[in-house]
Amino acid sequence: MTKRIMHGRGQALIEFAMALPLILIFWMFLFDFGRITYYLSVLNNAAREAARYGIVNSTNVAGITNVVYDMAIGIDSSDLFVTVSTIEEGTVIVVGIDYQYVPVTPLVASLLGGGGGIPVNTQASMLIEP
């Protein structure tokens, strides 16, 4: 009887040891997925706020870009590529932001091909006020 109880305890330990790497990989992916979702939300908000600024100051491209940098909380501004353009004969302003997301966890980064990353692109457009 004692042997059977000890065998069950060892079996649970081995099953846990086999499942632990899978659980850790899942948490790493979940952590990086949460970060990329946060960055996408921040960049969407920054593009929208810059477009709002641009509908009043459509000729001030440097000011629009600065609004993006100020609103991109938690993201290094040197990693952002901002484009400002007008379409439909100057009646609509479009603010685009391109960012290359680099995962923090080494396993996710290695699965993406080393130093690559995930491109995060967003844009906002609004009518320019007369």
pLDDT, tens only, 1-50: 455 555 556 788 888 899 999 998 899 889 989 999 999 999 999 999 99
The residues spanned by each domain of the chain are 2-127
Name the amino acid, one letter, at 120. V
DSSP the chain: -HHHHHHHHHHHHHHHHHHHHHHHHHHHHHHHHHHHHHHHHHHHHHHHHHHHHHHH-TT-HHHHHHHHHHH-TTS-GGGEEEEEEEETTTTEEEEEEEEEE--SSHHHHHHTTSS--EEEEEEEEEEPP-
pLDDT at 4: 54
Confidence (pTM): 0.80
